[in-house]
Amino acid sequence: MNKTNFNAMIQPNKILVLAPHTDDGELGCGGAIAHYISGGSRVYYAAFSICERSLPAALPPKILEDECREATAILGIDPGDVYFFNFEVREFPVSRQPILEALVQLNRDLSPDLVFLPSSNDIHQDHQVITQEGIRAFKNISIVGYELPWNNDHMHTNFFLPLTQRSIEKKIEALSVYKSQLERTYMQPDLIRSLAKVRGMQINAAFAEAFEMIRLVDR
């Protein structure tokens, strides 16, 4: 592999993050998003549900969309590069074909070099659909699966991305704007920072995020 090709893999021009629900992308690869944008990559973000049905009645129905817009902006994603779909939360399996068609259209419109999506061992039914159909829709593109430990009973971590403390703090800052979700254990800054330290320790770095390399395409 020549140096040009290797560098293109390390710093892709266009990255697409697939989030089954708002906040999944930030949780799974928020540090990577900040890292790649700081290096010059353009990152697109697609959320497939704003989870209106799962919100307490007292909250505005679009609050997660608003929070996601703010969070992705903190990470450095241009507002025009964030896409929202309104598939019903926890019912993605019955919308498999429309979801596939949406993914295929994103591929046509964006032509990304690298796609982030949930790990292939994610047990959430909505996440499984995004991963399975994402692998089909982006079959000629490099794909990595991000970890959400509360949904992964096991995960083959074979791609580690070392990160600066600034990238991790950006991830934590982005997640902090999800005021509607802050009671959830996995949103706590100490947990996010600790996981990044553990993954960093595995590769002799201060911080890292770990991924499942699903497909690697050398362009």
Comparing CA positions, the residue from 168, 181, 155 lying closest to residue 65 is 181
CATH classification of the domain holding 61: 3.40.50.10320
* pLDDT tens digits for range 151-172: 998 999 999 999 999 999 999 9
Cα–Cα dist 30/17, whole Å: 10
Q: Which range of residues forms the domain containing residue 166?
A: 3-215
Helix, strand or coil for residue 49? coil
Helix, strand or coil for residue 15? strand
* pLDDT tens digits for range 185-217: 999 999 999 999 999 999 999 999 999 999 999
The parts of the chain modelled with pLDDT lower than 70 are 1-9
Amino acid at 184: R
Tell me, what's the pLDDT at 103?
A: 98
Tell me, what's the pLDDT at 43?
A: 98
Q: Which two tokens stand for residue 1?
A: 């592999």
Number of domains within the chain: 1
Tell me, what's the pLDDT at 4?
A: 40
Which residues lie below 8 Å from residue 64, measured CB to CB, with a gap of 6+? 21, 22, 23, 50, 51, 52, 55, 178, 180, 181
For the entire predicted model, the pTM comes to 0.94
